């Protein structure tokens, strides 16, 4: 499913549209894999985390698996309804699609306070760029930061505190990629069925289905 998360530092109104209980501190648009990842995927993640730990990088599994389509920004409370309307209008013509990922990469946030193990998208890039274009139009409308010009779309798998990019790239990432490439019956490919966009703000989630 396609997802757009958002958050605000203020309490949300009671008349907002469909919600869930997840609280995000900051707003971002994302693509989510599945609420219940397959057993094969979870077994691979356990192997990857064990390998990383043996090489000095203790990683924590992500609570949910997503693919960001915007930078993190702070919203004013009274922007939530017009931003929701803008996003809905922008993506209503976008069609569902299948996205796949299979190449591991190491990422670090701008503040260099967290390192992430991600799986980079290998198919579906054009459709993701179309969605980013629509999200960026909403960002621009509200004078917020747009997404990166040359994004590396990826599903974040795990993270650790601090900047361990050098350590993981030197002696760890190649070994973990071998686990992906030689997984059981062949290379493991993560498939994401992108069927809706979500916009999360505080503890509320707005859902925008993509066209069949």
Please identify every residue annotated as catalytic. Answer: 66, 154
Dist. CA 79–CA 117, nearest whole Å: 33
**3-class state of residue 1 by DSSP:** coil
Pairing relation of β-strands 154-161 and 2-5? Answer: unpaired
- Polymer length of the chain: 212
Burial class, 33, CB count within 10 angstroms (exposed 0-12 / middle 13-18 / buried 19+): buried
Full strand arrangement of the beta sheet holding 190-194: 60-61, 154-161, 114-123, 97-108, 190-194
Closest CA to 134 of 86, 174, 168, 98: 86
């Amino acid at each position: 499913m396609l997802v757009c998360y958002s958050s605000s530092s203020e309490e949300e109104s009671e008349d907002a549209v469909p919600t869930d209980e997840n609280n995000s501190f900051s707003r971002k648009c994302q693509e989510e894999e599945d609420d219940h990842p397959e057993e094969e995927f979870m077994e691979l993640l356990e192997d990857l985390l064990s390998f990383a730990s043996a090489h000095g990088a203790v990683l924590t599994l992500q609570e949910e698996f997503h693919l960001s389509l915007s930078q993190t920004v702070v919203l004013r409370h009274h922007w939530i309804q017009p931003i929701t309307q803008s996003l809905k209008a922008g993506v209503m013509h976008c069609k569902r699609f299948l996205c796949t990922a299979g190449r591991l990469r190491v990422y670090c946030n701008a503040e260099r306070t967290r390192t992430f193990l991600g799986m980079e998208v290998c198919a579906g890039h054009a459709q993701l760029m179309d969605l980013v274009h629509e999200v960026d139009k909403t960002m621009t409308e509200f004078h917020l930061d747009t997404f990166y010009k040359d994004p590396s779309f990826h599903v974040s798998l795990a993270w650790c505190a601090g900047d361990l990019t050098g350590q993981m790239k030197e002696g760890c990432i190649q070994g973990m990629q071998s686990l992906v490439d030689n997984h059981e019956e062949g290379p493991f490919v993560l498939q994401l069925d992108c069927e809706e966009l979500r916009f999360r703000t505080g503890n509320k989630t707005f859902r925008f289905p993509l066209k069949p």
